[in-house]
Structure 1
Amino acid sequence: MTVDPGRAGEQRRNLAAALKDLRRASGLSGERLAARCSMSQSKISRIETGKILPSVADVQQVINALGVDDGLARELLDLASVANAEYEDVRASVRRGLHLRQRELAALENGADHIRYFLPAMPSGLLQTPEYMRTAMSPPVDPVDGDVSQTITLKIERQAILYDESKRFDFLLTESAVRWKLCAPSVMAVQLDRIASVSRLPNVNVGIIPLSAQVADVPFHTFTVYGTKLVTIELFTGRVVLRDPKDIDHYGRLFDFFHAASPSEGDVRALLEQWSDDFRRSPH
């Protein structure tokens, strides 16, 4: 089976239909299948009608209860893996409007109590200054064709959520992400000051993996873990969304592994202040 996250919506419908057909072919009622799977009958019904997306573990329980042969079981589990992933092309986001992308991110942030950001390439929008944002949104390759000023306004509005003490935010950056000279030295200095300032909020933790740290793995890409609901992975050309609990758990453990390489918050702020001073002393 070809794994194509771009067809996740279609795969979800196919998965729901396949599970319903198999249950009917077995002669089991939804209630009897639910009992065999240790699920509620209403959950089985919502899975079969496509109202909820079953995890890979849910599908495994159903196929075990139905006695599905190994070949078909592998196909259904592959289908469940694809159905629990989405891919959004960055060009599609631009066509729909960059402001809508900001509203989608705000909805994700509002819907989670604990968010973990792994940032090996650059600071998250929640940590950026307006000047840094503008440069980040004006890449020389495939420049953004949209209302950049409106998007910056919405990004700044999103930052207000950091002051909601009912939520917890963990940001983990690499030294490269913090010190990459995306902007003029004066702008970079203020950007580092911004990160240090946010790190003082009581519900925010900022970690940095220094280049001097020995870490037995490689930070391949940016990802964000939204509570226990989903993970987003950022690519040059788009974004992958994962919803399977096993994937979410994996990225949570990956975050914790990398976070162990970060010094204490006090030491992190000292590094940020040192690097900010370095930028201020840099020739313009």
Structure 2
Amino acid sequence: MRTEPPHGDELARLLASMREQVLEQTEDEPAPRVRESRLRNGVLGALAAIALLLGVGAGAAFAFGLWPDGPEPEPAAISTPTAAPSAAPSPTTTIEQEEYTAVPAPDPVPAVIEISSERVAVIADDGSEFAAYSYFEEPAPLIALLTEQLGEPVVTEVRPQWEGYSSTRYEWNGFVLSDGIYPPDPPHGPGFYVHATAAAVGDLVVRTPPGVGTAAGVSVGDSTADIVAEESWSENPNPETGQAWRSTRIGIGEPLPPLSPATSEFEANFGVWVTADAESGLVVELIAPSANYGV
């Protein structure tokens, strides 16, 4: 029985035989490639170490295929494209549309009684002309409108000294309408007159049109210092009371036809009569139409 270990060529053949057996066993196992390579290199490394211990040089071990292969590269990782996460849908704001019913603008209502040399106009709260009445018309429509706006007037019959004629006076607090003693007779004979002694009657302001007397018009209570008059002021003292009045006409209208052939050189016209307290200088009444040949 042999007790000496193999050496030389005999050892080399023994190691080569062992290598073949190792390779056959690793090929029979269905191990992953990486595991197979590592296992084979580990066994070959062990055989190479044994060969070196038993005196087989590194060159002989490499020649017999006992030297382990270098580490095989890891398989490249396969990049799988990842779908970008889809943006979350933005929240949708739903605006509920409400049904709107068009509200009609309120109808204009009377706000101003405007006194000029030619007519009485009623101005609405939106600045529009609500109604207008010439002095040469019958006053019934104007009386009806004022009654609707201001209530029932105080009615007084005025009879002159001569037979067959009369005048009716319709008075609201601070505003008077007097129909003419004679029927309307244009262009010289008005059918009615108005007389204001207050700046407002009820809810209606009473004034001359803007631009007549002042830029804003003239009302009772205004200062005569602000009034631009076409005619000079006249002084009218009252000998019984000692109170003095100042008077003039403003807003003078277009010249009228001659009253008669004898007065063809006289320029007749209408205006708005203004009376003021001489001491205070404040307007106390407006009268229209005021003719330069008598009111």
TM-score class normalised by the smaller sequence = under 0.3
Relative contact order higher in (CA < 8 Å, ≥ 6 apart): 1
Of structures 1 and 2, the larger Rg is shown by 2
Task: Name the structure where helix makes up a greater proportion of residues.
Answer: 1
Task: Name the structure where strand makes up a greater proportion of residues.
Answer: 2
Report the TM-score, using the length of structure 1 for normalisation: 0.20
Report the TM-score, using the length of structure 2 for normalisation: 0.20
